[in-house]
Amino acid sequence: MNYHLFGESHGPAIGVVLEDVPSGLELDMAFVAEQMARRAPGGSLLATARREADAVEIVSGVFEGKTCGTPLCALIRNTDMRSHDYEATRWLARPGHADWTGHLRYAGCNDPRGGGHFSGRLTAPLVFAGAVAKLALRPKGVEVVAHIRELAGVSDSPVDYAHPDLESLRALAGRDLAVLDETAGKAMRERILAARSCGDSVGGVIECLVCGMPAGLGCPDFDANVESLWARHLLAIPAVKGLEFGAGFRFAGMRGSAANDPFYRDTAGCVRTRTNNNGGINGGITNGMPLVCSVVIKPTPSIALEQETVDMRTGEPARLRVSGRHDPCILPRVVPVVEAATALAMQTLLASGGRA
Amino acid sequence: MNYHLFGESHGPAIGVVLEDVPSGLELDMAFVAEQMARRAPGGSLLATARREADAVEIVSGVFEGKTCGTPLCALIRNTDMRSHDYEATRWLARPGHADWTGHLRYAGCNDPRGGGHFSGRLTAPLVFAGAVAKLALRPKGVEVVAHIRELAGVSDSPVDYAHPDLESLRALAGRDLAVLDETAGKAMRERILAARSCGDSVGGVIECLVCGMPAGLGCPDFDANVESLWARHLLAIPAVKGLEFGAGFRFAGMRGSAANDPFYRDTAGCVRTRTNNNGGINGGITNGMPLVCSVVIKPTPSIALEQETVDMRTGEPARLRVSGRHDPCILPRVVPVVEAATALAMQTLLASGGRA
Amino acid sequence: MNYHLFGESHGPAIGVVLEDVPSGLELDMAFVAEQMARRAPGGSLLATARREADAVEIVSGVFEGKTCGTPLCALIRNTDMRSHDYEATRWLARPGHADWTGHLRYAGCNDPRGGGHFSGRLTAPLVFAGAVAKLALRPKGVEVVAHIRELAGVSDSPVDYAHPDLESLRALAGRDLAVLDETAGKAMRERILAARSCGDSVGGVIECLVCGMPAGLGCPDFDANVESLWARHLLAIPAVKGLEFGAGFRFAGMRGSAANDPFYRDTAGCVRTRTNNNGGINGGITNGMPLVCSVVIKPTPSIALEQETVDMRTGEPARLRVSGRHDPCILPRVVPVVEAATALAMQTLLASGGRA
Amino acid sequence: MNYHLFGESHGPAIGVVLEDVPSGLELDMAFVAEQMARRAPGGSLLATARREADAVEIVSGVFEGKTCGTPLCALIRNTDMRSHDYEATRWLARPGHADWTGHLRYAGCNDPRGGGHFSGRLTAPLVFAGAVAKLALRPKGVEVVAHIRELAGVSDSPVDYAHPDLESLRALAGRDLAVLDETAGKAMRERILAARSCGDSVGGVIECLVCGMPAGLGCPDFDANVESLWARHLLAIPAVKGLEFGAGFRFAGMRGSAANDPFYRDTAGCVRTRTNNNGGINGGITNGMPLVCSVVIKPTPSIALEQETVDMRTGEPARLRVSGRHDPCILPRVVPVVEAATALAMQTLLASGGRA
């Protein structure tokens, strides 16, 4: 399921074209809206005050309520734009943002308003695409769940990668903060509000699990292994600056005897591993265990604090306070985006018959 | 510069086909041999005793000592094979290895000897390909260096991402352990030998920097951004289970005010950033600062300690001691592999004119 | 310049997402409209009576009248739909159409109204995309022209592939029938009207030339040679059932001594060929001569005459008269489509730096 | 099944890397040799006197006689090289060849001996790859056959595309000239020898059919339709300058009522078409009828007759007689190459689950 995002934050609309959608899929728009709502801003002190209806218009690829199999285009009109917020600072490169690199790459022609095509707003059509992918995965018994593993130094309770408590993880979808441990959640909220109160922002780590994927999908080769496929999808999310499969960077301090996941035959006769440090992937191929990947999300670069920068036209030094409405922490809203990117990767893997 | 690896650890030969090699490149075989030697086993207590000449035969794509521009095929014959080492345990899935997933994926037909196509030995032609890429990057002033950032819990001294000491990093290429801090190196050696002495293994983190890449290369889109391109190349290396750009997972504990890299104009009139937490990439596009990526390498899964596993044909429980000759820690030999994968990614990026 | 078409003939809208558009391109909407008008139906006895404004809405990728470099989405609303025309024959496979194969491929879920996504109407956004490509090619001195080489057995006067009369070919863009020889044009018109009068249709051959492409672009390899790239673009046009480069099928009756294009140095010192039977391409690489490709367009499958067919649900035999409004000959409208597909291929080739 | 050819005509070896080979395929080397022999030179007055054993070394991807599923590399050493044949004319561009474009593309660095990587000799590993594809297609009941439809103006008896006589077509594989009509074959032989006797060469058309492909494979979209996929594979064969599906260019003189293939239900209850002018493909998707494609092969450009050309270093005019050993007509040897390219395309289509 290839997807092609388009749109600028303050242009007429944003959207996505989805290719290779399985035909005959009932497009459950209530489910789609639910997924969109999880990402949508507003409604919480933790997020930006910008409100967007994010009403999705299905432009193509759906007939009589079902997917046709032909390219599905979904359009989301931009409505609550306040471009004047950005006019004054148009040529000042916001640190940590893509203003400067976009200016270089597109020779000064990219749309600077609200980050243009680089805006986090483009994750709205991505969540739409992910919702379609989830609908495609559902009849195959594949489920994607995610939670905030760490936020501003506060950790959620750890998930057992070999035997994840799916029930609890599923239940997080409705919450404003997808955290298993309530106490940790409370501490995270405090850190977000503390950052907000001083015009600053915080980052964290989101952990995503996929259950129900068959074993034996993928391939060791370059560009065709499961880790590579999944990584490509996750690194397309703005603010993701790293990722790890299973134990990931924790492997650096482990010995082989602890890191290796011993094989055994379970009571149902299936070969499984005792632990799941490898996150369900060996040699780029799924092994039948839950797939586990975590991504790090950097602190929102848009902060109210004054920062040093330059004027992009001249290189002249300048001071900048990013005004406008911004999240002090985007992790709550990125959780469904990570799930969406993951669902797209998994549907692609399944549809490819194994070669990612 | 696409590459296509082929070969099995104990088959007739391994090798690589390189496409899109720039024509007219003087193929400096001394340099190539030097790179190959950095990865080659033998010569140190830290590594496996298997010795391979790793003599490279250039089969195509080179004429009168220069690259033709047409596909370059390089062949490395397998010589020091002791297949009988593997015969007894042929059907026992080695924990942490791809035996089981390869068995599933290829319906029991993959070559089990020494891991077959999944063997780390396939990194030899990868290093060859990287050497060609380095030769292509050299006249463009692009340099790739790497060091062991962490090994078995011991950390090397940190590199200043904004002003890396290239001289010192370059000097590591000749060492058996690519570590800046001698004391740390000594401690790492001890940990490796300690693990070896109890039939175990250790992992770590390798950090790679690229200097000299022009600003403005890449694209925000899925599958065309620099992080995605680089990740694809790095995740093709066996044992890599995670990666991070710039500050990476350290972003999780930072505030935006510290994480953002402020822009300034340097004395030469160039726009640069004070810090380089973003590892030289914003919005998927290079910003002109050094590019920084680290990968985690899991402990060598081949260990002498007895492990629990199953017979792949029957699922019957079994106990396994991996015999054969194995590295207690592969990091020293993976350093040039990480550089090679990175050089290939960079050459691809440059040749593409910016769309990764 | 990748493009992704979407939409169904009788759905809400059709459109295209264009990736890798050069930034800073003045989007000359008068030129775009002119190109769209060349393909639009109506206005002539030779074509369908269906009238569509084909008003293009630029949804993204353009800012202050110039391309941003980010994905450009263009939307064309469907307005003049008469779906009831199709209701009665919904399950009867129209011979020569994709009703049956679409039914199989999409398990009966594709939109049957007016051919759905298979409709020739999808060539409207393709012409839009081609217009953008032409705007990108213009400053590089690359020009794409086409004419009807043959229609219903009547041939236009031949073009000298080595020295095409660009002036005359350019002048055809404004005509209802892109034919160099007026007498031939008159005969073609008669054949179209004759076919129309008996509820039938006719086909023909469109020849396309590209002038100004630099020599040395392309590559001998699979999927990367110029002929392959161009063919991929042309075969995406519905009704194209074959193509030939330069002398093409006429090579079958030639001897090598006549077929080979002798090299000479022209007065400007450039190496050129005396003849251009190879259509400007040797070994998959441009040689600096005009590029020449012809495509055959099959007769419009939608005819008023009664035809034998089956009911797709049951396989029961049925008789079918295709009602609705259809062109007795689509060649006049396909000329700009062939130019558009060609312009997209050429822009892609140029932007790739030579590897198609 | 992706393939990557490598090698130069007079370099150490030529070969191919095959990816996505199904695992567990018995590699019937007698069948492979048979296919290779069909393409091999020597043994007939009709072809070049160069003799090559074309012994294939399987370097990887095969274990215990069966394919592993991992990349299969096959190597063919070059043995009967007479490079001195080419030395004298090294810098003279052979008309109709890729010497000049290769010189431009690779900045004078490509291997000029015998055409280097552009040599028709590269079709040897292509036929090998096709033989593997045929072995993969066989258990699926898919068969690929080809014959010479036209040679130097002489036509073979026409094949009924709706009901091809597979028996007769199969029987052609062992003949020196794959022609159904003996009388036509005799006339073709005469034309070849006549051309040879005056140092000239002739071309022709090869027609290829595929039987047994399931209906419903493919997709209307750019780069994913069956015609595009097949064309990409065929246009990778040197000397192919055009192709047509089913009636192809004959559509130009037909009316829709004759061109459309009426649907009916056969006695077995399958939906079929009465005629098969569309060559088994509608809207880029297979319809269950035999797939038909023809390619035009230009006359061998290497001729003994003196030709006008230039010195590539200086542009100075020159006269050239191509010495060496060359086929006066390559069609007999290209028949198995067309089949090989087709088999690779079909196996790719089947393995993709329908999206080409």
Nearest to D322 by CA among D48, D8, D44, D7: D48
What does the pLDDT read at residue C224?
85
In angstroms, what separates the C-alpha of C151 from chain D's closest C-alpha?
6
Give the best residue of D16, D104, D205 to mutate against chain C (max C CB count within 10 A).
Answer: D104
In angstroms, what separates the C-alpha of C58 from chain A's closest C-alpha?
8
pLDDT band for position D245 (50/70/90)? Answer: very high
* Stronger pLDDT, D53 or C314, i.e. the higher one: C314
Side chain identity, residue A140: K
What does the pLDDT read at residue B79?
87
What does the pLDDT read at residue C322?
87
Has residue C136 got a pLDDT over 60? yes
C93-130 pLDDT, tens digit each: 999 999 999 999 999 999 999 999 999 999 999 999 99
- C221–B71 C-beta distance less than 8 A: yes
Cα gap B120→B332, rounded to integer Å? 13
Cα gap B111→B286, rounded to integer Å? 41
- C19–B221 C-beta distance less than 8 A: yes
- Both tokens of D196, joined, read 């040879």
Side chain identity, residue A78: N
Residue range A326-336: mean pLDDT, rounded: 94
* Chain centroid to CA D141: 21
Residues of C in contact with D220 (CB under 8 A): 98, 102, 117-118, 238
What does the pLDDT read at residue C257?
97
3-state SS assignment for residue A202: strand
Cα gap A128→A31, rounded to integer Å? 10
D186-226 pLDDT, tens digit each: 999 999 999 999 999 999 999 999 999 999 999 998 888 99
Nearest to B354 by CA among C351, C350, A237: C351
The complex's ipTM? 0.96
DSSP structure string for B105-135: HTTT-S--GGGGGGSGGGHHHHHHHHHHHHH
In angstroms, what separates the C-alpha of C235 from chain A's closest C-alpha?
18
* Chain centroid to CA A96: 18
Q: What string of H, E and C letters represents the secondary structure of C120-173? A: HHHHHHHHHHHHHHHHHHHHHCCEEEEEEEEECCEECCCCCCCCCCHHHHHHHH
Has residue A48 got a pLDDT over 80? no
- B205–A317 C-beta distance less than 8 A: no
What does the pLDDT read at residue C324?
72
Residue range C166-180: mean pLDDT, rounded: 95
Cα gap B248→C340, rounded to integer Å? 44
- Residue matched to tokens 């441009």: C286
- A20–D355 C-beta distance less than 8 A: yes
Nearest to A152 by CA among A121, A185, A174: A185
Residues of B in contact with C2 (CB under 8 A): none
Nearest to D309 by CA among D78, D114, D119, D99: D99
Residue range C205-218: mean pLDDT, rounded: 97
Of B8, B15, B24, which is closest to D109 when you measure between CB atoms?
Answer: B24
- B353–C351 C-beta distance less than 8 A: yes
Q: How many CB pairs under 8 A join C and D?
A: 336
Cα gap B212→B166, rounded to integer Å? 11
pLDDT band for position A223 (50/70/90)? Answer: confident
First to last CA, chain C: 11
Cα gap B128→B3, rounded to integer Å? 11
How buried is residue A183: exposed, middle or buried, by Cβ count under 10 Å (0-12/13-18/19+)?
exposed
A64-114 pLDDT, tens digit each: 999 999 999 999 999 866 656 677 889 999 999 999 999 999 999 999 999
Domains of chain C by residue range: 3-351
Over chain A, what is the mean pLDDT? Answer: 94
Q: Which residues touch C328 (CB under 8 Å, ≥6 apart)?
A: C46, C192, C193, C195, C196, C200, C201, C202, C300
Has residue D72 got a pLDDT over 70? yes
Residue range B97-124: mean pLDDT, rounded: 95
Judge whether B260 and A303 are in contact, CB under 8 Å.
yes
Q: Which residues touch C250 (CB under 8 Å, ≥6 apart)?
A: none
Residue range B31-40: mean pLDDT, rounded: 95
Of A71, A221, A353, which is closest to D19 when you measure between CB atoms?
Answer: A221
Residues of A in contact with C105 (CB under 8 A): 23, 69
Residue range A36-61: mean pLDDT, rounded: 76
Residues of D in contact with A284 (CB under 8 A): none
The pairing of beta strand C154-155 with beta strand C143-151: antiparallel
D95-118 pLDDT, tens digit each: 999 999 999 999 999 999 999 999
DSSP structural state of residue D337:
H
What does the pLDDT read at residue B85?
64
- Both tokens of B51, joined, read 């010795």
A159-172 pLDDT, tens digit each: 999 999 999 999 99
Neighbours of chain C (3+ CB pairs under 8 A): A, B, D
- B222–A233 C-beta distance less than 8 A: yes
Judge whether C147 and C335 are in contact, CB under 8 Å.
yes
- C105–D285 C-beta distance less than 8 A: yes
First to last CA, chain A: 11
Burial letters C220-247, b for 16+ CB under 10 A, else e:
bbbbbbbbbbbbbbbbbbbbbbbbbbbb
DSSP structure string for A61-111: SEETTEE-SS-EEEEEE--S--THHHHTTTTBPPTTSSHHHHHHHTTT-S-
- B12–D57 C-beta distance less than 8 A: yes
D125-166 pLDDT, tens digit each: 999 999 999 999 999 999 999 999 999 999 999 999 999 999
The pairing of beta strand A263-265 with beta strand D154-155: unpaired
Cα gap A72→A22, rounded to integer Å? 11
- A60–C109 C-beta distance less than 8 A: no
3-state SS assignment for residue D137: helix
3-state SS assignment for residue C9: coil
Residue range A195-207: mean pLDDT, rounded: 97
* Stronger pLDDT, D34 or B221, i.e. the higher one: D34
* Stronger pLDDT, A323 or B306, i.e. the higher one: B306
Residue range B73-86: mean pLDDT, rounded: 80
DSSP structural state of residue D202:
B
Neighbours of chain A (3+ CB pairs under 8 A): B, C, D
Over chain C, what is the mean pLDDT? Answer: 94
- C110–A68 C-beta distance less than 8 A: yes
What does the pLDDT read at residue C54?
78
Cα gap B295→B342, rounded to integer Å? 11
Considering the segment(s) A3-351 as one domain, its CATH architecture is 4-Layer Sandwich (3.60)
What does the pLDDT read at residue A46?
57
Neighbours of chain B (3+ CB pairs under 8 A): A, C, D
- A108–C63 C-beta distance less than 8 A: no
- A152–B253 C-beta distance less than 8 A: yes
In angstroms, what separates the C-alpha of C68 from chain B's closest C-alpha?
12
Residue range C283-309: mean pLDDT, rounded: 97
In angstroms, what separates the C-alpha of A186 from chain C's closest C-alpha?
40
What share of chain A has pLDDT > 90, as a percent?
A: 88
- C23–A59 C-beta distance less than 8 A: no
* Chain centroid to CA B316: 36
The pairing of beta strand A307-310 with beta strand B13-18: unpaired
Give the best residue of B119, B241, B273 to mutate against chain A (max A CB count within 10 A).
Answer: B241
Over chain D, what is the mean pLDDT? Answer: 94
Cα gap D105→D102, rounded to integer Å? 5
Residues of D in contact with B116 (CB under 8 A): 63, 68, 70
